[in-house]
Amino acid sequence: MTIAIDENIPLLAEAINNEHNDFQVLRFQGRTLTKEALRDCVALCVRSTTRVDESLLFQTPVRFVGTATSGSEHIDHNFLRASGILFHDAKGCNADSVAEYVLFAILLWAEKRGFIRDKQALRGKTLGIVGYGHIGQRVARLALKMGLRVIVSDPPFLDAGGEFARGTEAMALQTIAQECDILTNHVPYTLGGNYETVGMFDDGVFKTLRAESLFIHASRGGIISESALQNAIEERHIFAAVDVWHNEPHINAALAQKCLLATPHIAGYSHQGKINGSQMIARALERFVERVLGKHLSVDWGVFEDALEQAKPRFKHDFTDHQSLLEALRESRKFEADNSQLLASLAEPNAGASFDILRKTYPQRHEILLGTE
């Protein structure tokens, strides 16, 4: 029996490909996986570049699908349920990584506007957070430590009985857009239903944002109207940090060139975030093999533990010293280099392939705020 694993999922194959298991491991490139390659596979582990649906899995022996990502819009959940295929995601694995991206974008915006030289330049500025899941909650906690006023909108979270953190304020989306200096969104990709998010950030929302405010987009492509954001940048001088794009890998080059920060869907690509995702899928695989197949899967957990130990931050930060925090994130995550590489790739003959290569060959970058709360 074979377990198919995307070659960009770090250490997962290494952790299970050992002499104690009678499973073979098949490595594949995310966008090139075919049904024929899965003819002997009982389990499939993917990232967001692989569309998992009937055309890929019908009449294959696959009975488990895991995605080492927090989002799962690349998965046809209805087909998996109807086919009795177990599914597991890695929700929350990269929350710290994306939160660092959001903080960096805020601090870069403050620098561009010329007021970060004040040690507590952002104190009293208003941050609006739409979506209060793993990432939104992390962003809220860090923003409060920085002295920002934090307002939040997440109707489904509240309807399910959730409570926002002490120190935050609840508001509707339109009100938040009018109130905030910075707006960030961390909602899932939801098409239809009572809480549809596709296209929720449209021309009406962007027209209510204050001139020279900052909009951060690090959730999912399709959540915003990219043309409306581009108009807001051009007409009202909105600043934008965009990491996720509609129609990836063929992204909106005109929008990217106008952003304060444009990156190739790598906000969650920290070393720690990737390892967290691999560990979560390894645990789910272990349960599947034991409970469904009646076999034992030997996982070398030390592979993950050693990688995380080597990356553990050795220092803490003063969140009220915004200039120092910016420089620390600038050095560790190098998002400005990512911006430059993405813009350069847009001029290449096959920009879509270049987008994928930037993600596939992304260098190892470490979180620095882990454990500082």
Q: What is the C-alpha to C-alpha distance for residues 71 and 299, in angstroms, rounded to an integer?
A: 25
220 is a catalytic site residue:
yes
236 is a catalytic site residue:
no
Catalytic: which of 100, 226, 248, 367? 248
179 is a catalytic site residue:
no
Which residue has 């690090």 as its token pair? 218
Q: What is the C-alpha to C-alpha distance for residues 367 and 359, in angstroms, rounded to an integer?
A: 17
* DSSP collapsed to 3 states, 182-230: EEEECCCCCCCCCCCCCCCECHHHHHHCCCCCEEEECCCCCCECHHHHH
Nearest to 310 by CA among 271, 352, 284: 271
Catalytic: which of 63, 220, 246, 359? 220
Cβ atoms within 10 Å, residue 74: 17
Q: Across the strands, what pairs with 217?
A: 185, 242
Give 364's DSSP letter: P
At 181, the amino acid letter reads D
Catalytic: which of 88, 265, 359, 365? 265
Q: What is the C-alpha to C-alpha distance for residues 280 and 17, in angstroms, rounded to an integer?
A: 17
Give catalytic residues, as residue numbers: 220, 248, 265
